[in-house]
Amino acid sequence: MTASTANAQRFREFKMPDVGEGLTEAEILKWYVKPGDTVTDGQVVCEVETAKAAVELPIPYDGVVHELNFGEGVTVDVGTVIISVDTDPGAGPATAPAAVEAPPEAAKAEEEAEPQGRQAVLVGYGAAPSSTKRRARKPQPGVPAQPEPVSAALQAELNGRTAPAPVAPVAPVANGTSAGAAGRPLAKPPVRKLAKDLGIDLATIVPSGPDGIITREDVHAAAAPAAAPAAPAQVPAPVAEAVAPAETGVVNAAARERRVPVKGVRKATAQAMVASAFTAPHVTEFITVDVTRTMKLVQELKQDPDMAGLRVNPLLLVARAFLVALKRHPEVNAAWDEARQEIVYKDYVNLGIAAATPRGLIVPNIKDAGIKTLPQLAAELGDLVATAREGKTSPAAMTGGTVTITNVGVFGVDTGTPILNPGESAILAFGAVKLQPWVHKGKVKARQVTTLALSFDHRLVDGELGSKLLADIAAVLERPKRLITWG
């Protein structure tokens, strides 16, 4: 057995898994271990955030953590090694495999070419092409060392548009090319994306990071407007001139703005909403309904022994009313298959509940909600909301939804025009319940009233069908005994 084979068996690599359906990347939120810690098979070592949820990752090995390949806050592609584990720590110190001497021509080609595939940079793991870490290159004869990091002020001047910075002559390497021509500028993927979004060419930026890596500050400095020419150093500027910009009202807007990378749940939500809004033709209808009887029933159910320990609220009965109405109009519960030009009618209802979480909006769903009893529906609704707020919703819980409810009333909002969750046929917005004057039994009285809004995919649902569905939901909430007669 060779030394490299023995090391490969001893040091096990754990790659970023696809924890959802076709996800391509995840951000490392928190490490629960550090190099030198002992871990066991199944132990949670980190928490990552995908485009759908925050997920804890267990390690499938016993041993001692050898290295964490990425820090917290770094987005890593699926399939990239994130941690290596020494499965035989008693075997002695880790030793790197002996390097194989390559022919001069091959070595020269390797130095000039962009790295391809995995590189054996440490025992037990290799850096993937999508890795955000880069190792320092070995110094070559005749090639000057990297310039010292420059300050932010100097960076702005170097990347300004008033005059190009003088370029120092670069000593040629053995093959006659300059050292800077060996590859593209060094920058992490988030920095490259930032430069692309701002329209900045990385090749024009002078790096200030270690090992010649371009940083976010470098990109922002290059994107900032060119500063006004500075006054001669030998002539001190009067105090009055220092406050002149404030007097003229000229303010640098960039100094009062913040830029936050779009990633995780926010990125997924944005993509989903854009895809839905510009794919499914939305129609939204509204209805205002007296829900006084429903609110009384909520209070009665809270005292019912069968509902003891369960969270009973108006949303529970709205969900039940939605399910009863769908049972009367099953054609609404469908999906549009564009690729096969088919309508898929579904004989089950996976009811989505839009939940606002610290990480953004997510829509987990209750599987087979249409066949559950009221206590079962209450229990699953409570678990769903609690899990979502803790950030522990699994990706599986957010797939396969058929229709959704969004409770905008908790924010004091009367109603809205909700956007369909991609792949679903309808979404119901439940507005705030308020005391309003209402004609009841021929007299104007103060009644508890709410407004419902139903958005539906007009490819699947005609106006008549959508109107009947919304009217039936309102009818159940107006007279909740229909939960029995219609259910």
Q: Considering Cα of 158, then 164, then 168, then 174, what sign does the dihedral take?
A: positive
Q: How many CA atoms lie within 13 A of 194 on its CB side?
A: 18
Write down the pLDDT at residue 81. 94
Q: Which of 357, 261, 423 is nearest to 53 (CA)?
A: 357
pTM: predicted TM-score of the whole model, two decimal places = 0.56
Number of residues in the chain: 487
Q: Which two tokens stand for residue 391?
A: 């950030």
Q: Are 218 and 155 in contact (CB under 8 A)?
A: yes
Contact residues for 353 (Cβ-Cβ < 8 A; gap 6+):
315, 319, 363, 364, 365, 366, 381, 384, 385, 404, 405, 407
Where do we find the tokens 């109603």? 415
Q: Which two tokens stand for residue 21?
A: 């359906």
Q: Which of 346, 362, 343 is nearest to 354 (CA)?
A: 362
Contact residues for 347 (Cβ-Cβ < 8 A; gap 6+):
330
Q: For residues 395 and 326, give the distance between their C-alpha atoms in angstroms, rounded to a whole number.
A: 26
Q: Which two tokens stand for residue 133?
A: 């870490």
Write down the pLDDT at residue 325. 98
Active-site position among 66, 329, 440, 458: 458
Q: How many CA atoms lie within 13 A of 263 on its CB side?
A: 22
Q: Are 365 and 400 in contact (CB under 8 A)?
A: yes
Q: For residues 19 and 55, give the distance between their C-alpha atoms in angstroms, rounded to a whole number.
A: 8
Write down the pLDDT at residue 279. 80
Q: Which two tokens stand for residue 169?
A: 């002559």
Write down the pLDDT at residue 20. 61
List per-block mean pLDDT (blocks of 10 residues) for the chain, which spans 487 residues: 66 84 79 93 89 81 92 90 90 53 43 42 37 46 47 46 44 38 67 80 83 83 59 48 51 79 76 78 96 97 95 96 97 94 96 87 93 96 89 85 96 94 94 96 96 96 96 98 92
Q: Are 364 and 353 in contact (CB under 8 A)?
A: yes
Active site residue 458: yes
> HEC states along the chain?
CCHHHHHHHHEEEEECCCCCCCCCEEEEEEECCCCCCEECCCCEEEEEECCCCEEEEECCCCEEEEEECCCCCCEEECCCEEEEEECCHHHCCCCCCCCCCCCHHHHHHHHHCCCCCCEEEECCEEECCCCCCCCCCCCCCCCCCCCCCCCHHHHHHHCCCCCCCCCCCCCCCCCCCCHHHHCCCEECHHHHHHHHHHCCCHHHCCCCCHHHEECHHHHHHHHCCCCCCCCCCCCCCCHHHHCHHHHHCCCCHHHHCCCCCCCHHHHHHHHHHHHHHCCCCEEEEEEEEECHHHHHHHHHHHCCHHHCCCCCCHHHHHHHHHHHHHHHCHHHCEEEECCCCEEEECCCCCEEECEEECCEEECCEECCHHHCCHHHHHHHHHHHHHHHHCCCCCHHHHCCCCEEEECHHHHCCCCCCCCCCCCCCEEEEECCCEEEEEEECCEEEEEEEEEEEEEEECCCCCHHHHHHHHHHHHHHHHCCCHHHHCC
